[in-house]
Structures are given as C-alpha cells and as structure tokens.
Structure 1
Amino acid sequence: MDDRPRLPARLFHRWLLYYVPVAALILSLSVLIGYALGSQIPTEWLQNPGTTGENAFMPVELTTLSLTINNLGALLVMALGAVSLGTMTVLSLVLNGLVIGAVVGIALKQVSPVVVAALIVPHGLIEIPALLIVAAVGLRFGWQTIQYIRGRTTELVTGQDLREAGWLLATAAVLIVIAAYIEANLTLEIASQFTDADLSGIAVE
C-alpha cells in the first residue's frame, strides 16, 4: 500500500505552505509602495491634452487572447526564478506589485473605491493566486539551488520536483485563461453597475 501523501497534499506542503506566504508578503509590500507613488500623481496629469476630464488610462481594447498572452508571458518571467536563484521571481513580484499599487492609486483619483474594487476583484481573485503559485515554484527552485550550492543537499532537482512543478504551472496557466476571460468580458460590465462614468479607457490590473 502506498503511504505517500496524495498529490494535492504534497503540492501544498512542499511548494505552497511556505513559499506562497513569502511571495504574498513581497507582492503586498510592493503594492503599498506602488500605491503611495501612484496616489502622488496630480489629477491634472491624468487628463489627455485638450479634453475635459477624459481619463488617460490605456484605451487599448483588451481581449481574452491578448490578456492571456500578456499574463502568461509575465508568469514565464516569474518562473525564471528557478534558474536565477529566485531573483527573477522576486523582481517580477516587486514590479507587478508596484504597477498594481500605482494604477490603483491613480484610478482612485477618477472613480470611487467601490468601482476600483469592481475592476480588480472579479479577475484578481483568480489571477493573483495564479501569480503566487508560479512565484512559489520559482522561489522553491531558487532556494533548492542555493542549498545545493552550499552543499546542504546532494540533488539539485528531482523527477518528483519537475512533475509537481509541472502540475502547478499548468494549474496557474488555466487560472490565467479564466481570469483573462473575466477581465476582457465581464469586468467592465460589473464595474459599470456602480457608476455612470465611462470606464472604457480604464485598465486596472
């Protein structure tokens, strides 16, 4: 009889239990710093020249495909922490956090907190966990590499590590596709229920 823990339990204890909280802390601190920076931008800077209150957020049409490609690319960079001692993962978390915080700080100058939450929460509840899962993979591989270099372990990576990382990355990819669909097709519709303002040009990650 196989006494090994089942796959979900192994994934949680070996990959998520310790590394997700670390990733979440880095991301959260970066969001706070980004928010402080974004909230300092004068409101008049948010207007396009020659307009009366028109917002200056990206007016690019977002689709499920474009968002999926963009976000999967960002997660790929984050996963490179596996071959960079975790540095690419940390830098990617910091950059994403700064961008999220700054955009939220800017958005709050134009719309209410409820609207900003409506623009973020529907897809963010799925996208952020995907980001943290990939970050956990990058951080764990990075830590394993450091331990191997220091002689604390005799194996740099095992077949089990690769299989489990594959499951986690595949799960994150599925979550990213779902989040992209929600962001492209449902987010503005949900947010518009809380305001009469034109939200078509607002892009809150």
Structure 2
Amino acid sequence: MLSFNTFIKDLRTIRTALLLATVLFIAGGILGWIGTGSLQQLLNEQLKGISKISGNLRESSNPQWSFFVFIFLNNSIKSVVIIYLGALFGLLPAFFLLINGAVIGYLIHLSAIQGQDLFTLIVKGLLPHGIIEIPAIIIACAFGLKFGSKVLSALLGVMKRSRAETVNWQAFMRQTFTVSVWIVILLFVAAIIESTITFWLLS
C-alpha cells in the first residue's frame, strides 16, 4: 500500500488534477512576475516574513539544523494539510499554488530588476532542492483539487439521487494516505538538500 510503485500508480489516476495544479502554479509565477498594486504589496509581505524567519534561523546556535527542522516541518505539514483542506471544493489548494508560484515569480523578477545574479538565485538557490520540493507541493495540491472534485461529485450525486455519481471514498482516502507518506519523504530529502547544499552554495 505504501510502496513507491503504488504512489506512481496513484499519480496516474489524477493526471488531469496534476495538469491543472501545474498550470495554476505557472499562472501564479506569471502573476508574481507582473504583480502590481495590492498583489505586489501582498507578495512583499510574504517575502518580508520569509526574510525575517531566515534571519532568525541564521542567528541560532546551529543554523543548518534550524533551517532543516523549520523547512521540513513547515513544508510537510502544509502539504499534507492542503490535501485534506481540498475537501472545501479545492479552493485552498488552488490558492496555495497561486501564492507559492507568485512568490517565486515575484522574487525572480525583483532580483532581475535589482541587477542581481539570476544564475545564482535560480541554479544555486532554487534548483537543488526545488527540483524535488516544487513537484511534491504540486502533487499534494493536485490531490487536494481531486478531493474537491470528488466532494462536488458526491454532492451532485445526492442532488440527482444518481448512483452514477457515487464516489469511491475508501479507495481515494487510501490514496491520500499513501501520497501523504511519500510527500513527507520527498520533502524530507528536499529539506536536507536545502539546509546543506543550498545553504552552502548561497553562503
């Protein structure tokens, strides 16, 4: 039930949701890049919060360990929770994808405007851990979106009193448990990379 092959098979059953989640993340990145007005203010607040947390972690007695614990717990808890919050018609996973994509898009654009080295930011600062972390977050949100669509299908089935709309909740909840375990594992690896390799590359 928890094997990697089962995880991959489960991903194949939500291909449409995965595509939608990827599109939402990219759309968020585009919005972040062109962000103006209230969106720009929101993203600035997000970056200020991240910068403050980063500063506090760097001042700890063991910065690398502090970064690892914070990054792993923050990402894994949010990612697992967002799967089940998808039950609220998939709205929160969609918002989560847009905001995360927007923060990255805005950060890259801001760095470009300020004349900073984008190679260092992207290749050294984002890619080493992001190549694992970003897909894991997209997968979590995709299952959240799928959860929302299943809730809608169930409600429509009740309204229409149609057995054709019956949702196989037992199989789906098993999938959410399997994917939660593997997302935590992937984010554990990503946190190790971010708190060691990325930390070293940017130091």
Q: Same fold (TM over 0.5)?
A: yes
Asked whether 1:172 is paired with 2:183, we answer: yes
Among candidates 123, 126, 138, match of residue 120 of structure 1: 126
Structure whose CA Rg is larger: 1
Matches within 5 A, 1:28-67: 28-37=26-35, 57-58=51-52, 59-61=55-57, 63-67=67-71
Alpha carbons 2:79, 2:137 under 8 Å: kept: yes
Unaligned runs of 5+ in 2: 45-49, 58-65
Q: Deviations over 1:130-163 (max 9, x none)?
A: 1011011111111111111112644344222111
Alpha carbons 1:80, 1:86 under 8 Å: kept: no
Alpha carbons 1:85, 1:146 under 8 Å: kept: yes
Matches within 5 A, 1:191-202: 191=202, 200=203
Q: Deviations over 1:169-194 (max 9, x none)?
A: 11111111111111111103234xxx
Shift of 1:57: 4.4
Q: Which residue of 1 aligns with 2:61?
A: none
Where 1:37 maps in the other structure, the secondary structure is coil
Change in CA separation of 1:181 and 1:10 when aligned onto 2, cut-off 3 Å: closer
Asked whether 1:144 is paired with 2:150, we answer: yes
Asked whether 1:183 is paired with 2:189, we answer: no
Where 1:84 maps in the other structure, the secondary structure is coil
Among candidates 130, 135, 138, match of residue 132 of structure 1: 138
Shift of 1:105: 2.0
Distance in 1 between residues matched to 2:137 and 2:27, nearest whole Å: 15
Q: Which residue of 2 aligns with 1:99?
A: 103
Distance in 1 between residues matched to 2:196 and 2:35, nearest whole Å: 30
Normalised by the size of structure 2, how large is the TM-score? Answer: 0.74
Alpha carbons 2:83, 2:147 under 8 Å: kept: no
Q: Which residue of 1 aligns with 2:62?
A: none
| Identity %, equivalent residues | 20
Distance in 1 between residues matched to 2:80 and 2:172, nearest whole Å: 18
Aligned residue pairs, count? 171
Q: Deviations over 1:65-110 (max 9, x none)?
A: 0111111233144223432010111111111111121222223325
Distance in 2 between residues matched to 1:141 and 1:106, nearest whole Å: 35
Segment drifting more, 17-26 vs 182-191 = 182-191
